[in-house]
Structure 1
Amino acid sequence: MKLSLGSALVGLAVAQASTVKYSAVTGYFLQDEDSTDASTFDYTAENFGLINRTYPADKHNKKHLTQWERFYHQVSRFNEESPKHVEYKVLFLGRHGEGWHNAAETYYGTPAWNCYWAELDGNSTATWADASLTENGISQALTANAFWQKEINEQRIHTPDHYYVSPLTRTLQTANLTFTGLDLPKGSAIFKPTIKELFREGISIHTCDHRRSRSYIHEMFPSWPIEKGFSEEDELWNGVLAETSGAQDIRSATALGQVFFGSSSKKESFVSITSHSGEISSILRVLGHRTFKLNTGAVIPVLVRAEKTDKKATATSVPWTAEPHCTEPPVSSVSACVCPSSAAPVTTPLATGF
């Protein structure tokens, strides 16, 4: 069932069509290749997936550089030799560690989770509205921290020039645990991520997609900048309408447009984005990258070419959808959700959130 958006959602679903053409530059990472199985890929065992190969820029480099140093010089060379309307960036796309919503979905099973339990704030043992990390999720983020330090020490990797993070609690916690305390190379950008609304998870009727207030977020990490225009309360989630993949891709393209072509952009080519499985999938679609579903806590870099086009921006509207759900726990089903006969599906919120 398709519905028009409420006024609070219009600004997100009606956006200016991107005047930037994005493309994933393949041949540099294992995750670019169709033969790489995303379900078993371990970024910590594969040097972030960076392929051991030579580059055209190698002839301009000193000897005894690591693979990551040589790759950084190649990206710099791309930017030096490209026209003003083209630039290259390496996006480190990191999925948050396991949250309580992930654990709850595993416990209840996906069909029952989607049509009933996910619309609640939690149960008697756990809260999953704007979920926090589980102990396992904390461990996954600390694994990322240790691996970044290993890459700094052994590969002399160029650490991110800019950091961005989704405003949901699990991503804020993940970014903090991943990057705080690293012994960064001299001259590196300090870790002070920009909290960015448009890098949040795909917005469904699940309460785990309902972010907390700006005040709450600022209190958690008072030194982290929050982007201009960030509303006090979540104006995008209402527990009734769900973002379609088309609407989310517009959102992702808009967010990427705010990352590329800034001041000194070509010299600041490494960017970290701590986000979510669904949002990273959307970003990859916008980039034209192959589908690559990240496990919780995983990180993949992607080399991106962005080109400003001459076309005029046009307003694009993509409707959201209403998602019916049960009002009582569903009948057990392996492949689909079946509501009890006395509890017909509804499209009104079961929980009000925060």
Structure 2
Amino acid sequence: MDSSGGPSLFPLQRCKTLHLVRHAQGIHNVDGDKNYKAYMSPEYFDAHLTPLGWQQVDNLRKHVHACGLSKRVDLVITSPLLRTMQTAVGVFGGDGYTDRMDIVPLMVANAGNSDRAAISSLNSPPIVALELCREHLGVHPCDKRRSISEYQCLFPSVDFSLIESDEDILWKANVRETKEELAARGMKFMNWLCTREEKEIAIVTHSGFLFHTLGAFGNDCHPLVKKEICKHFANCELRSMVIVDRSMIGSDSSTTNYPGKIPSGPDLPSSVVDEKNLGKDEPNSGLH
């Protein structure tokens, strides 16, 4: 039966819920959205959020709390750039930071010219920085990151352990990553997600990364669904999707499936079961 035009089924343990977020407005977006050449400006190196960007963060934070998403997310993955990490900790971080020796903040006060108070790590899901979900690499100074040691001072509770190099060795001043290379990196990222044990993951990343990565999906769907998957993200937009591990890249087992008959084996015919039950009800049966 050809079910390509209708609904499809897949085992739950082979699926993950992804909450995809594009970073809030950065200082580079203000001019870059009007004139693409502005992205070449050195003043936008590792661009931080604008005051409007922080308002967008606050609005998204209210939304994820109001809809209950903040309590469901098991893990937050962020691109290791100022604007994405500011967005990630601002949206998913804890409330009411106090300067206690036993609590390390997610973000220190005024990190990246933010003019913001420190953000608490209390009641926050783990936040992990990962190079695979960075924006287009090369040429544009806004897409070049600082050293990890510098970031660790600004974001003390963000996990940078999956980043191998302290300095940015991926960004090249005269070579821009192609769309095809970015899409391939995006697929590598998606395959990596399938190996994670977490089931509900928020990802804070970039417009170009999302557009070219998601463009590889939806070809088996209705054209309108494909369009819905692949359309460009606005600043601080969140979209929730499900990723399916069709090739069993991960090794998850179900926590809700139940095997039924224990011990396993073929079910007995109803007549045999009835006779056995009847024998149990009549203790003297079989003694005649």
Normalised by the shorter chain, which TM-score bucket?
A: 0.5 to 0.7
| Correspondence 1:149-228 to 2 at 5 A | 149-152=65-68, 159-181=72-94, 190-228=124-162
Cα distance in 2 for partners of 1:27, 1:285 equals 21
Please name the residue that 1:90 is paired with. Answer: 17
Please name the residue that 2:55 is paired with. Answer: 139
Cα distance in 1 for partners of 2:248, 2:76 equals 26
CA contact (8 A) 1:214 1:230 kept: no
Per the TM alignment, residue 167 of structure 1 is displaced from its structure 2 partner at its CA by: 0.3
Cα distance in 2 for partners of 1:210, 1:130 equals 6
Please name the residue that 1:100 is paired with. Answer: 27
Please name the residue that 2:12 is paired with. Answer: 79
Please name the residue that 2:244 is paired with. Answer: 305
Look up the SS of the partner of 1:287 in the other structure. coil
Cα distance in 1 for partners of 2:92, 2:248 equals 35
Please name the residue that 1:277 is paired with. Answer: 207
What is the letter of the counterpart of residue 119 of structure 1?
Answer: M
Q: Point out which structure has higher relative CO (alpha carbons under 8 A, 6+ apart).
A: 1
Give RMSD over aligned pairs: 2.7
Cα distance in 1 for partners of 2:126, 2:24 equals 19
In the alignment, does 2:41 pair up with 1:120? Answer: yes
1:78-117 CA distance string (max 9 Å, x none): 425xxxxxx11111000000000001224xx32xx42xx3
* Structure 2 stretches lacking a partner, 5+ long: 1-5, 97-122, 219-225, 250-288
Look up the SS of the partner of 2:17 in the other structure. strand
Cα distance in 1 for partners of 2:47, 2:208 equals 15
CA contact (8 A) 2:27 2:47 kept: yes
Please name the residue that 1:247 is paired with. Answer: 181
Cα distance in 1 for partners of 2:19, 2:248 equals 25
Cα distance in 2 for partners of 1:78, 1:308 equals 12
**Which has the greater radius of gyration?**
2
Cα distance in 2 for partners of 1:157, 1:94 equals 13
Cα distance in 2 for partners of 1:174, 1:230 equals 23
Per the TM alignment, residue 181 of structure 1 is displaced from its structure 2 partner at its CA by: 2.7
Instruction: Label 1:89 to 1:241 Cα distance change in 2 as closer, same or farther (>3 A).
Output: same
In the alignment, does 2:225 pair up with 1:295? Answer: no
Look up the SS of the partner of 1:302 in the other structure. strand
Cα distance in 1 for partners of 2:73, 2:136 equals 25
Cα distance in 1 for partners of 2:172, 2:125 equals 33
Per the TM alignment, residue 192 of structure 1 is displaced from its structure 2 partner at its CA by: 2.2
CA contact (8 A) 1:98 1:133 kept: yes
* Structure 1 stretches lacking a partner, 5+ long: 1-25, 29-55, 57-76, 81-86, 123-127, 184-188, 311-354
Q: Percent identity?
A: 26
Cα distance in 2 for partners of 1:207, 1:162 equals 29
Instruction: Label 1:96 to 1:27 Cα distance change in 2 as closer, same or farther (>3 A).
Output: farther
Look up the SS of the partner of 1:167 in the other structure. coil
Higher strand share: 1
CA contact (8 A) 1:197 1:230 kept: no
CA contact (8 A) 1:149 1:182 kept: no
Please name the residue that 2:282 is paired with. Answer: none
1:228-279 CA distance string (max 9 Å, x none): 34211111112211111110111111122222133xx3xx321100001111
Cα distance in 2 for partners of 1:233, 1:307 equals 36
Please name the residue that 2:112 is paired with. Answer: none
Query: What TM-score, normalized by structure 2, do the two folds share?
Result: 0.66
What is the letter of the counterpart of residue 238 of structure 1?
Answer: K
What is the letter of the counterpart of residue 292 of structure 1?
Answer: K
1:291-314 CA distance string (max 9 Å, x none): 21111011001111122269xxxx
Cα distance in 2 for partners of 1:27, 1:136 equals 41
Query: What TM-score, normalized by structure 1, do the two folds share?
Result: 0.55
Look up the SS of the partner of 2:245 in the other structure. strand
Instruction: Label 1:136 to 1:261 Cα distance change in 2 as closer, same or farther (>3 A).
Output: same
Cα distance in 1 for partners of 2:179, 2:89 equals 28
Number of residue pairs aligned between Structure 1 and Structure 2: 210
1:35-89 CA distance string (max 9 Å, x none): xxxxxxxxxxxxxxxxxxxxx9xxxxxxxxxxxxxxxxxxxx9425xxxxxx111
